[in-house]
Structure 1
Amino acid sequence: MDYNFKILNKTEILKVVPLVEALNDFNVPKAILNIRFLEMAEQNYECAVICNNNTIIGVCGLWFCTRHYAGKTVEVDHVYIEENHRGKGLGKQFFKWIYNYVKTKACNTVELNTYVANYPSHKFYYNEGFEILGYHFLKKL
């Protein structure tokens, strides 16, 4: 298989919505996802993708900011790889590419959230050297 990693052009951002829909545990309608991704693309957000023969088969959001406890950081968001491409070391390759990419943007740290029940992701992130620092809370207004 011929895989490559890249930052998706902002004008193509809606191409990732079908993959994010598969990860969508909050059941956000596609129309709202489209609106939100268009808005995100205008913020401190970039979208990294995995392509297989020019077809997007994996996605990861990158939120850039500076935090008092971490310095310049990137928060990795909505990581998803299509199921038939999993178990091939692709996630590890993708994260290696992400680490190298965010270093070029002067990031000191990488942060992320993962769902409590997503045990396979916990194992993956532990193996990548991530540590649990706290809990992520959400309150809808």
Structure 2
Amino acid sequence: MQVTFKLLKGEEAEIILPYLDIMNEQKVPMDLLKARFAEMLTQHYEAFGIYDSEQLIGCFGLWSTTRHYCGKSFEPDHVYIDEAYRSKGIGKQLFEWIEVYGKEKGVTTIELNTYVQNFPSHKFYYNQGFNALGYHFLKKI
């Protein structure tokens, strides 16, 4: 298996929309999800495909920002790997790749959110050296 991570630009990035829909716990309608995703691509956000040779097997996004408490950072978002490819070390490879890519861009910190009930992801992120620092709160207005 030859896993690669590819930056997707413009309309090419829409190839990952089916994966975003799978993760869509808020059940945002596809037309709205597509519009929001297009807007994200105009902000400090990059979309990536995860490939096994030429086959798309997952996706993730990276938000870039500078925060007063940690400097320049990446926030991986909507990390998804097809079920048939899980537990094969791809997630570990991905986060090693993100670190290298981040260092090339002057990033000093990686931070992320994960759903409270997603216990397998918590274990994974702890194993990758992440620490839980707080809660992410959300209020719709």
Common fold by TM > 0.5: yes
Aligned to 2:76: 76
Matched AA of 1:70: C
Name the TM-score, length of structure 1 as normaliser: 0.96
Q: How many residues are treated as equivalent by the alignment?
A: 141
Aligned to 1:64: 64
Query: What's the RMSD between the two structures over aligned residues?
Result: 1.0
Does structure 1 residue 37 correspond to structure 2 residue 6?
Answer: no
Report SS of the residue matched to 1:112. coil
Name the TM-score, length of structure 2 as normaliser: 0.96
For 1:68 and 1:106, the matched residues in 2 are separated by 15
For 1:6 and 1:19, the matched residues in 2 are separated by 15
Structure 1, residues 3-49: CA drift from partner, whole Å, max 9, x if none? 21121123311111101111111111111111011110010000122
Q: After the TM superposition, which of the residue ranges 48-57 and 88-97 deviates more from structure 2?
A: 48-57
How far 1:2 sits from its partner (Å)?
A: 2.6
Does structure 1 residue 123 correspond to structure 2 residue 123?
Answer: yes
Runs of 4+ in 1 over 4 A off after TM superposition: none
Aligned to 1:14: 14
Give the fraction of aligned pairs with identical amino acids, expressed as a percent: 52
Structure 1, residues 84-112: CA drift from partner, whole Å, max 9, x if none? 11010011011111111111110000000
Report SS of the residue matched to 2:94. helix
Q: Is the 8 A contact 2:13 2:48 kept in 1?
A: no
Q: Is the 8 A contact 2:44 2:63 kept in 1?
A: yes
Q: Structure 1: state its 5+ residue gaps.
A: none
Q: Structure 2: state its 5+ residue gaps.
A: none
